[in-house]
Chains A and B, each alone.
Chain A
């Protein structure tokens, strides 16, 4: 699968060689530039061109921005007022170059300024919320970061609710997200590498990692794959995930997504990268393994015994979500002799009058369950709950009393659905839902033998799968016993002195035993 990304990167570099569009240099004439810009953007209403005349030197300058994208107060206070004051009252150089430099160095009080000299710089800058300053007879412009506009405030996570721990969730604004990370991880080694994604719509993407902890090979691989991305626009991190994942055929998520700030920060410290995309509150964590996906930050917030039990419960839930309907089908249809007589009799009694074989019955219920889940997501919250009650209670009850399904089947499917939602990440729940169907089919054909075959096949798939070169099945296998302290159980804090070995971190020790052991 790595080969796939390689070939893609080759293709892309070829395309770039072929692409004829050379960057258009800016003209020296102010009016030509502005006309050109207006032509390019089709002179929209929200494009503001504000001219300022430097009378003494007889030079015109103009600031250009799109009104909805900038912070009005900032432009007014730090650019407009300053320039107007200067043009009226102060001494300034009367030739072009001198004036430009003076403006650049002294007159503008914006924190982040860049120079630009192509039309592309100007358009991209304006569209990303910058204010551009043109000066007559100058081929260079100033790009001032005045990004503003409406954005959502920081709230508690909505998709991953927190019982205990920081309740900060990421927001759509990349700058805010980066500052959240910085604030939570106050380390001088925290690094942000910025990429620009998208052909039609430029979007910033930041790869965050902690230098000195992470294995440099992982950062290199992530950056290499991100550079191969060639799409029009990436409105959600899912686009990035699907573009850079190792195997698109796998039902398993090869990256974790989260909107919880604490989860991202702890991943950084374990030696992983966090990929943040502008415009979405969901960040990606890579590489991940199967063990990581079944972990949740709360495991560490609670005391170790509770954390371990919760972990264990989660593994149990994962197995139930996968196996339960299949086991039921195989025991009832193919191996009824394996059930104790009393239980077999009571199942048979409850199935009396049910016209379908258990497989059909199970599929009916599973499909109903999936429909309910999907409908519950689509509907507004208050109605969603109603649907849950109507679907779960009324349909279940009615189906049983109508004799379409047996009550035990309702119990089995209900348990399975609950177990699938007991996982800390939504995407692995979907994986389990897909794989469960495989188990049910195999159980209907081969009984327990079919279940074990499918189980073996899933294992084969998982040991062959990789996430950014890290085997997905670590640390179960390749066996790293040291990492088992934090896998199915979560050992006491004082014992978790090392970072996960499978990530081959540069700095393996996270806690010095001497310092913490007392």
Chain B
């Protein structure tokens, strides 16, 4: 950090490295063990998590390389160079809409979880609204500040998560992992799909590389950052299985939070530690939501250049709130989640591959690198 400049508003490579796992784990880690164990028999989920992780690493490397080969350019501008302006505008808008959906989904999950773990009577609408207002306050600030918030909260939530895992070692039953390698091929495909979707948040990298101070190093750092959620996902998944067993894990709504239920604070100062865990995790969800919201603003703002950021935030927030409250119950939330995940993953991945190959064929981007 020798290069810290006076009042610099650039994002450092390290901040990007933390932001990616931050958005990936923010919400998905809460219910991931359930979803994976729904798809997979025994403890085979770690295989799909690992494979999907490897696949994500490949994609994120492609994304980061692509974006970094046009240093300082927004997604819109390099996509227009590679394809054409109208196509790029459409792509950017779709990304914007998808990120809005992601933000709405995160907000809704937070509201839902709070009802389950914190207060039964308070309506989801109120909880979500107050959360959204805090998000709006954050997004109205500077972009570098958002990434700094990530740097502040990410260690906190991870330390708490690891702490919960370590405390739970007492209840670990390794036999719960059995049977192994009992899943059929069809379930593997399904599990792979679920786990790839869990990693979807990192698509923001397409948009944020433009703000990174040293774009050359960005692909490596992005991949390094992506290793964190892969490790955490597998750890949390295995722990849930070892502690609750396969059947219980696939029936719990948010098994990761329930891990904290087992904790007894020595001396009995506090009970219901899972509520505390949820409170801390609010910061994690907050990180993911701000990044998704900000990425949406970034995408829309690059198309609607003349609109002020604050104005865009004011227009978007009611829309996000509305979308967040659309699902009526948990199964609809799950449907919404699957839809958003599916759409974002397939869209982001296919666009990345198309862009990379189109850039190769047309020889743009590489030239920029040669000039450097």
Contacts and interface: CB of A to CB of B under 8 A. Distances in A.
Is the A/B pair a real complex? yes
Given A340-B271, A463-B141, A464-B141, A501 B151 contact: no
A1 to B, nearest CB: 11
A88 interface: no
A335 B141 CA distance: 33
A220 to B, nearest CB: 10
Interface stretch (A167-175, A224-232, A306-314, A476-484): A476-484
Contacts of A341: 271
B309 interface: no
Of the candidates A215, A477, A502, A504, the one having the most CB atoms from chain B within 10 angstroms of its own CB is A477
17 contacts: A338-B272, A340-B270, A340-B271, A448-B118, A448-B276, A449-B119, A449-B279, A450-B130, A453-B131, A459-B152, A466-B7, A476-B152, A477-B148, A478-B15, A479-B15, A479-B151, A504-B4
B127 A449 contact: yes
Interface string A448-473: 11111100110110011010011101
Contacts of B12: 478
A36 B324 CA distance: 78
* Size bracket of the B interface: 35 or more
Contacts of A339: 270-271
Contacts of B137: 457, 460
Contacts of A470: 6-7
B123 to A, nearest CB: 12
A4 to B, nearest CB: 15
* Size bracket of the A interface: 35 or more
Contacts of A449: 114, 118-119, 127, 130, 279, 282
Interface string A313-351: 000000000000000000000110111111100000000
Given A337-B271, A340-B269, A501-B4, A459 B276 contact: no
A446 B114 CA distance: 11
Contact of B151 (A478, A482, A502, A504): A478
Contacts of A482: 1
B267 to A, nearest CB: 9
B149 A459 contact: yes
Interface string B112-145: 0010001100100001001100100110011011
A416 B260 CA distance: 29
Contacts of A451: 279
Contacts of B328: none
B286 interface: yes
A77 B118 CA distance: 82
A41 B45 CA distance: 91
Contacts of A477: 148-149, 151-152
Contacts of B271: 337-341
Contact of A452 (B5, B144, B282): B282
B305 interface: no
Given A338-B275, A456-B283, 14 more contacts: A215-B6, A218-B6, A337-B271, A338-B270, A338-B271, A447-B119, A448-B118, A449-B130, A452-B279, A452-B283, A460-B145, A469-B6, A476-B152, A504-B4
A460 B280 CA distance: 16
B148 A463 contact: yes
A12 to B, nearest CB: 22
A217 interface: yes
A217 B283 contact: no
Nearest to B133: A453
A481 B14 CA distance: 12
Contacts of B1: 478-482, 501
A479 B130 contact: no
A98 to B, nearest CB: 54
B125 to A, nearest CB: 13
B140 to A, nearest CB: 9
A516 to B, nearest CB: 22
Contacts of A453: 130-131, 134, 282
A504 B6 contact: yes
Interface in B268-311: 268-272, 275-276, 279-280, 282-283, 286
A430 to B, nearest CB: 23
B151 A456 contact: no
A341 B269 CA distance: 10
A456 B269 contact: no
Contacts of B7: 466, 469-470
A457 B5 CA distance: 26
Contact of A504 (B5, B142, B145, B272): B5
Interface in A270-296: none
Interface string B6-27: 1100001011000000000000
A335 B275 contact: yes
A164 B153 CA distance: 37
Interface string A479-494: 1111000000000000
B138 A460 contact: yes
Contacts of A480: 1, 4
Chain A to chain B: the 3 pairs with minimum beta-carbon distance, closest first = A469-B7, A477-B151, A477-B148
Of the candidates B14, B145, B269, B280, the one having the most CB atoms from chain A within 10 angstroms of its own CB is B145
B2 interface: yes
Of the candidates B127, B148, B149, the one having the most CB atoms from chain A within 10 angstroms of its own CB is B148
Given A339-B270, A453-B134, A457-B134, A463 B5 contact: no
A501 B268 contact: no
Interface in A239-284: none
A63 to B, nearest CB: 50
Contacts of B142: 464
A447 B114 CA distance: 11
Contacts of A463: 141, 145, 148-149, 152
B118 A471 contact: no
Contacts of A479: 1, 14-15, 151
Contacts of B269: 340, 343
Nearest to A482: B1
A5 to B, nearest CB: 13
A217 B148 CA distance: 23
B6 A217 contact: yes
Interface string A66-93: 0000000000000000000000000000
A469 B142 CA distance: 13
B149 A460 contact: yes
B262 to A, nearest CB: 16
A34 B3 CA distance: 60
A408 to B, nearest CB: 15
Interface string B325-356: 00000000000000000000000000000000
Contacts of A476: 151-152
A479 B153 CA distance: 12
B244 to A, nearest CB: 22
Contacts of A501: 1-2, 4
A448 B153 CA distance: 17
A459 to B, nearest CB: 6
A160 B268 CA distance: 40
Nearest to A344: B271
Nearest to A465: B145
Interface in B1-60: 1-2, 4-7, 12, 14-15
Of the candidates A334, A340, A451, A470, the one having the most CB atoms from chain B within 10 angstroms of its own CB is A340
Interface string A47-77: 0000000000000000000000000000000
A476 B145 CA distance: 12
